[in-house]
Structure 1
Amino acid sequence: MIEVYIDGASAGNPGPSGAGIFIKGSGSVERHSIPLGTMENHEAEYHALIKALEICIEKGYRTVSFRTDSQLVSQAIEKEFVKNKRYSPLLEKAIELSGKFDLFFLKWIPGSENKSADELARRAIRLNEGEHS
């Protein structure tokens, strides 16, 4: 089973944003810091999930267990519903991608257990800012 820790972060709301993705499995570790441009923090959380799903699909992983410290994202995936309709297309994309796995789990964890993904997301914000300066 591949373990995937994800985090989205924004410097401002909205502001420069990034996705942090930390993948453990098959004896290897992968770290991804992906600049996302300017968006709100919740949008960055969804984009982190989508980017991580895309990476796992590209790698051919079939069984994945995701961890996020975003209650908004974990509850939306669990219920397949989001109150704020602005996030509906992001949720739909995430659900579509998650259906491509033999097994997909997403679990909420406290931020203290998600430090690796958080650091990667913060690095992605800085990479983002570097592109515009």
Structure 2
Amino acid sequence: MIEVYIDGASAGNPGPSGAGIFINNNGVVERHSIPLGYMENHEAEYHALIKALEICVASNYQVVSFRTDSQAINQAIEKKFAKKKYGVLLYEALKLSDQLELFFVKWIPSIENKSADELARRAIRLNKDEHEKDC
């Protein structure tokens, strides 16, 4: 089973944001720091989920266990429901998850999600670096 740790972070709410994705594929580790642009923290969490699912689908992973420190993401997946604009993002995530043989999400405390958190914070810095180049 492939374990996927995800985290979305924003420097401000809203602010420059990033997704951190840490994948353990039977001892082979993948790390992804993905700048997301300017958004709210909860929105960044959903985008981290979507980006991780896109990676899993593109890599043809079939049995995946996601870990998140976002209770909102965990509950939305369990209930298959999210309020307001997050409903569209949840729908996109659920469509991607349907392409996997087995997909589930487990909530973990932030202390257990440090790798994904560090990657998300790195993505924020990358986001800021890209913005400064454009100015």
TM range (shorter): over 0.9
Q: Distance in 1 between matches of 2:42 and 2:111?
A: 19
CA RMSD of aligned residues (A): 0.6
2:85 is the alignment partner of 1:75: no
Letter in 1 for 2:56: C
Where do residues 47-66 of structure 1 align in structure 2 (5 Å cutoff)? 47-66=47-66
Counterpart amino acid of residue 102 in structure 1? E
Residue 126 (str. 1) matches residue 130 (str. 2): no
Amino acid at match of 2:127: N
SS at match of 2:92: helix
Stretches of 4+ moved more than 2 A in 1? none
**What's the secondary structure of 1:114's corresponding residue?**
helix
Percent identity, aligned pairs only, is: 74
* Residue aligning to 2:113: 114
Matched, 1:99 2:94: no
**Counterpart Cα distance in 1 of 2:6 and 2:102:** 18
Scaled by the length of structure 1, the TM-score of the pair is: 0.98
Write out aligned runs for 1:6-25 (5 A).
Answer: 6-25=6-25
- Matches of 2:26 and 2:90 in 1, distance apart? 28
Mapped pair 1:88 → 2:126: no
Gaps of 5+ in 2: none
Q: What whole-Å deviation, never above 9, does each CA across 1:105-124 have from its counterpart, x for those lacking one? A: 10000000000000000000
Question: Distance between the aligned counterparts of 2:89 and 2:4, measured in 1?
Answer: 19
Q: Which runs of 5+ in 1 are unaligned?
A: none
Equivalent residue pairs, number: 132
Cα distance in 2 for residues equivalent to 1:71 and 1:44: 14
- Distance, in Å, in 1 between the alignment partners of 2:113 and 2:49 is 14
- Find the aligned partners of 1:102 and 1:129 in 2 and give their Cα distance: 37
Q: Does the residue aligned with 1:81 lie in a helix, a strand or coil?
A: coil
Shift of 1:86: 1.2
Deviation at 1:27, TM superposition (A): 2.7
- Letter of the 2:101 partner, please give it: D
